[in-house]
């Protein structure tokens, strides 16, 4: 019997588990790092225990401290959430050895599916179709290069112990293989402590289809249908939906039966996801869907399955961990409507999707429109220590079009400042005609990246709102008042109709009144106005930007760290000639590698760091001069 649950995680997933646990009448325990002392998940729990410094390897990844916290607070079960220690078999065994209940699959199942190469061999032996590739033990660069050449390009390099898109590279030609392999191995070692890789043939029109499975200790295994997670960037999911568009009954039967077979092959208990890659060049065909991997935990995108099945997957996890049978038989699990989830990240799409950190001085999410799962709040901080996802928005409607429209509207109503987000980018993805038609694959975003990532110009409504905010005084006198807005005043002149506003070095004529206001308007201490429109945040000023006379407004050639991080690679030397955009250094931050490019064509004048250096935000890493 479970009476008290400790969640060995943070953020939105901790809050998510606590909501169900408390609804079931269970006591809750949070663990937190020093960086999360004031986080919502800490206040939400009945008890909370500090387990270490901000860095995850000194807190959320230290299993002994988490188990000690459970024992000290009287918790009798541990839920790992996702990420961190959720798929660590040794931690699961230690939990059980301490006399606690592990709310997850058996350690043997975690091990069986934890290494991609071994899992694929196991699945092939169980009759589950697998993607062609190389799974060998010989990991020398020469052997891997030879196997890639044999498979044919493009080829996919994947970390054996990987997940979440980390340690994964697509290679288009043989000459690029060695560099991609080195980068992939380095990222894999940093993320998983294991630099081994496998190779797969790269499917040219891939769809990412996954199936939610659930098993109990009585030997029953069911599926809760499929999800389509094809909208990805750098192999990380952006928008997920259920059911998959264009999925025929025959294809659904093939993929769900394969998923159940995969779970049965490892004696699976609890929630899991079997991931498949489908060749969608001619639609979703039953014989063109192959096993990729199994995630032995709850997935980030589990809410879309909950929406279309009406099942609380966390409640099922708790009940199954307590020894109860599955609450429903396969024939009782039915699909209702369509659901979509968008991952809201603290990142700057127009700036190469670099993570954005800092205080959330303004944070408003459309909770009246859609389900919102989040672990941050206004006044909180997005730190550089953890994943940059700050919320999930989940829409459910009778039809796919209805769910897409609802989610696009919700993304358009997101208001966050000064931290940057991908809300506008998400709205543009959802509004794209090809997405609306269901014409999606994993290359969807990359093929349209320039249009989807670029921040559009502010709308007339946004400009009007900014102008009104700058001209209406503290008593609320409107700009149409004859004594208001006296800029350029002269007797008998027509009323002032607009004012000049600047977004960076772009100037716009903003009308001085509007009946339509897009959202909140903020005034900064620097005399700027912040408006929110279509998911974008615009910071406008009535003053033109001051040019850097010494450099013609082109910058000083310094390449600075956009966030705290670790230098993991340097691709140039002093004296090298480079072109605009060429990768100079690679910075590891917020669990991902970020290549920093040259701001203009020129020569590397100096390098201020070495590989392995930890750097602070704003520190100059390299400097270029024009040639």
pLDDT at residue 164, rounded to an integer: 66
pLDDT at residue 547, rounded to an integer: 52
Beta bridge partners of 389: 345
Residue 477 has pLDDT above 60, yes or no: no
- Distance of alpha carbon 29 from alpha carbon 66, whole angstroms: 10
DSSP-based three-state secondary structure for 546: coil
Q: Do residues 255 and 209 lie in contact, with contact meaning Cβ atoms separated by under 8 Å?
A: yes
Give residue 566's pLDDT band: very low, low, confident or very high (50, 70, 90): confident
pLDDT at residue 317, rounded to an integer: 98
Q: Do residues 309 and 335 lie in contact, with contact meaning Cβ atoms separated by under 8 Å?
A: yes
pLDDT digits (tens, 9 = 90+) for 215-231: 999 999 999 999 999 99
Q: Which residue did the predictor score with more confidence, 525 or 417?
A: 417
pLDDT digits (tens, 9 = 90+) for 295-314: 999 999 999 999 999 999 99
pLDDT at residue 478, rounded to an integer: 45
* Mean pLDDT score, 347-376: 94
pLDDT at residue 539, rounded to an integer: 94
Contacts of 166 (CB under 8 A, 6+ apart): 159, 187, 188, 191, 192, 591, 592
Residue 1 has pLDDT above 70, yes or no: yes
Q: What is the CATH number of domain 558-625?
A: 2.40.50.100
CB atoms within 10 A of CB 248: 12
pLDDT at residue 132, rounded to an integer: 80
Please, where in the chain does CATH 3.40.50.20 lie?
4-103
Q: Do residues 534 and 456 lie in contact, with contact meaning Cβ atoms separated by under 8 Å?
A: yes
Bridge-based pairing of strands 77-79 and 101-102 is parallel
pLDDT at residue 514, rounded to an integer: 63
pLDDT at residue 153, rounded to an integer: 93
pLDDT at residue 552, rounded to an integer: 33
pLDDT digits (tens, 9 = 90+) for 99-116: 999 999 999 999 999 877
Q: Do residues 572 and 584 lie in contact, with contact meaning Cβ atoms separated by under 8 Å?
A: yes
- Distance of alpha carbon 100 from alpha carbon 71, whole angstroms: 8
Q: Which of 243-247, 287-291, 466-470 has the lowest mean pLDDT?
A: 466-470
- Distance of alpha carbon 606 from alpha carbon 599, whole angstroms: 14
* Mean pLDDT score, 78-88: 96
Give residue 167's pLDDT band: very low, low, confident or very high (50, 70, 90): confident
Q: Do residues 339 and 242 lie in contact, with contact meaning Cβ atoms separated by under 8 Å?
A: yes
* % of the chain at pLDDT higher than 90: 73
Q: Which residue did the predictor score with more confidence, 197 or 627?
A: 197
Active site members:
297
pLDDT at residue 619, rounded to an integer: 86
DSSP-based three-state secondary structure for 412: helix
Domain 4-103 has CATH 3.40.50.20: yes
pLDDT at residue 549, rounded to an integer: 37
* Mean pLDDT score, 335-348: 97
Element containing residue 249 per DSSP (H, E):
helix 249-265
Q: Do residues 167 and 191 lie in contact, with contact meaning Cβ atoms separated by under 8 Å?
A: yes
Residue 483 has pLDDT above 60, yes or no: no
Residue 89 has pLDDT above 50, yes or no: yes
| Torsion angle in degrees (nearest 10) through CA of 97, 100, 105, 111 | -30
Element containing residue 40 per DSSP (H, E):
helix 40-44
Q: Do residues 328 and 299 lie in contact, with contact meaning Cβ atoms separated by under 8 Å?
A: no
pLDDT digits (tens, 9 = 90+) for 360-374: 999 999 999 999 999
Whether the CA torsion 309, 26, 263, 278 is positive or negative: it is: positive
Q: Which residue did the predictor score with more confidence, 601 or 475?
A: 601
**Quick one: CATH architecture of 132-201?**
2-Layer Sandwich (3.30)
pLDDT at residue 555, rounded to an integer: 64
- What's the CATH number of domain 208-453, 3.10.20.30, 3.30.1360.40, 3.30.470.20, 3.40.50.11540? 3.30.470.20
DSSP state string for 69-134: HHHHHT--EEE--SSTTTT-HHHHHHHHHTT-EESS--HHHHHHHHSHHHHHHHHHHTT--B--EE
Long-range contacts of 57-63 (CB under 8 A, 24+ apart): 58/33, 59/31, 59/32, 59/33, 59/34, 60/8, 60/9, 60/10, 60/31, 60/33, 60/84, 60/85, 61/85, 63/88, 63/90, 63/91, 63/94, 63/95
pLDDT digits (tens, 9 = 90+) for 26-38: 999 999 999 999 9
pLDDT at residue 225, rounded to an integer: 98
Residue 486 has pLDDT above 60, yes or no: no
- Distance of alpha carbon 603 from alpha carbon 601, whole angstroms: 7
- Distance of alpha carbon 497 from alpha carbon 476, whole angstroms: 18
pLDDT at residue 511, rounded to an integer: 86
Please, where in the chain does CATH 3.30.470.20 lie?
208-453
Q: Is the peptide bond prior to 114 cis by the omega test (within 30 degrees of 0)?
A: no
User: What count of residues does the chain have?
Assistant: 627
Nearest to 172 by CA among 187, 158, 152: 152
pLDDT digits (tens, 9 = 90+) for 442-470: 999 999 999 999 999 999 999 999 998 88
pLDDT at residue 517, rounded to an integer: 57
pLDDT at residue 42, rounded to an integer: 98
User: What's the pTM value of the predicted model, to 2 decimals?
Assistant: 0.83
Provide the terminal-to-terminal Cα distance of the chain, rounded to the nearest Å: 72
* Mean pLDDT score, 533-557: 72
Please, where in the chain does CATH 2.40.50.100 lie?
558-625
Residue 591 has pLDDT above 70, yes or no: no
pLDDT at residue 68, rounded to an integer: 98
pLDDT at residue 307, rounded to an integer: 98
- Distance of alpha carbon 236 from alpha carbon 147, whole angstroms: 26
Q: What is the mean pLDDT of the chain?
A: 90
Q: In the 3-class helix/strand/coil scheme, how is 1-18 assigned residue by residue? A: CCCEEEECCCHHHHHHHH
Nearest to 9 by CA among 89, 103, 99: 103
């Amino acid at each position: 019997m479970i009476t008290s649950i400790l969640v060995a995680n943070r953020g939105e997933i901790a809050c998510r588990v606590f909501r169900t646990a408390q609804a079931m009448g269970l006591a809750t325990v949070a663990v937190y790092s020093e960086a999360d002392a004031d986080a919502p998940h800490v206040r939400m729990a009945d008890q909370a225990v500090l387990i270490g410094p901000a860095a995850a390897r000194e807190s959320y990844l230290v299993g002994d401290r988490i188990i000690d916290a459970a024992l000290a607070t009287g918790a009798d079960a541990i839920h790992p959430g996702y990420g961190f220690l959720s798929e660590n078999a040794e931690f699961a065994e230690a939990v059980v050895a301490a006399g606690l209940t592990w709310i997850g699959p058996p350690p043997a199942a975690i091990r069986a599916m934890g290494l991609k190469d071994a899992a694929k061999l196991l699945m092939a032996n169980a009759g589950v179709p697998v993607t062609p590739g190389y799974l060998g033990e010989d990991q020398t660069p020469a052997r891997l290069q030879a196997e890639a050449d044999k498979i044919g390009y493009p080829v996919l390099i994947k970390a054996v112990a990987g997940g979440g898109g980390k340690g994964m590279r697509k290679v288009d030609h043989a000459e690029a293989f060695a560099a991609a392999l080195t980068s992939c191995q380095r990222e894999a070692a940093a993320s998983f402590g294991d630099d081994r890789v496998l190779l797969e043939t790269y499917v040219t029109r891939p769809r990412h289809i996954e199936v939610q499975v659930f098993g109990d200790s009585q030997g029953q295994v069911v599926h809760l249908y499929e999800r389509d997670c094809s909208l990805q960037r750098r192999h990380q999911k952006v928008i997920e939906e259920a059911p998959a568009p264009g999925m025929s009954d025959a294809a659904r039967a093939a993929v769900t039966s394969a998923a159940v077979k995969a779970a049965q092959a490892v004696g699976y208990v609890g929630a899991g996801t079997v991931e498949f890659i489908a060749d969608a060049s001619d639609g979703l065909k039953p014989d063109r869907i192959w096993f990729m991997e199994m995630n032995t935990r709850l997935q980030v995108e589990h809410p879309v399955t909950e929406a279309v099945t009406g099942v609380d997957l966390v409640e099922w996890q708790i009940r199954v961990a307590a020894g109860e049978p599955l609450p429903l038989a396969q024939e009782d699990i039915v699909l209702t409507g369509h659901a979509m989830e968008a991952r809201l990240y603290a990142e700057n799409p127009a700036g190469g999707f670099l993570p954005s950190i800092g205080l959330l001085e303004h944070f408003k999410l459309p909770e009246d429109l859609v389900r919102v799962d989040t672990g941050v709040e206004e006044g909180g901080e997005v730190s550089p220590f953890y994943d940059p996802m700050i919320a999930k928005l989940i829409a459910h409607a009778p039809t796919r079009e209805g769910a897409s429209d609802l989610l696009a509207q919700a993304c358009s109503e997101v208001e966050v400042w000064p931290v940057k987000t991908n809300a506008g980018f998400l709205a543009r993805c959802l509004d794209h005609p090809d997405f609306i038609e269901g014409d999606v694959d994993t290359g969807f975003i990359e093929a349209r990246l320039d249009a989807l990532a670029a921040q559009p110009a502010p709308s007339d409504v946004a400009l009007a709102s900014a102008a009104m905010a700058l001209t209406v005084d503290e008593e609320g006198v409107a700009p149409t008042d004859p004594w208001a807005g006296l800029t350029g005043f002269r007797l008998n002149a027509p009323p002032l109709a607009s004012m000049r506003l600047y977004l960076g070095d772009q100037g716009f004529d903003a009308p001085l009144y509007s009946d339509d206001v897009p959202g909140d308007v903020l005034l900064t201490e620097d005399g700027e106005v912040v408006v929110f429109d279509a998911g974008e945040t615009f910071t406008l000023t009535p003053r033109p930007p001051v040019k850097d006379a010494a450099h013609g407004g082109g910058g000083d050639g310094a390449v600075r760290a956009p966030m705290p991080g670790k230098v993991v690679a340097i691709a140039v030397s002093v004296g090298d000639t480079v072109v605009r955009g060429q990768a100079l250094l690679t910075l590891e931050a917020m669990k991902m590698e970020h290549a920093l490019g040259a701001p203009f064509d020129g020569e590397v004048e100096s390098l201020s760091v070495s590989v392995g250096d930890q750097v602070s935000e704003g520190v100059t890493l390299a400097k270029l001069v024009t040639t």
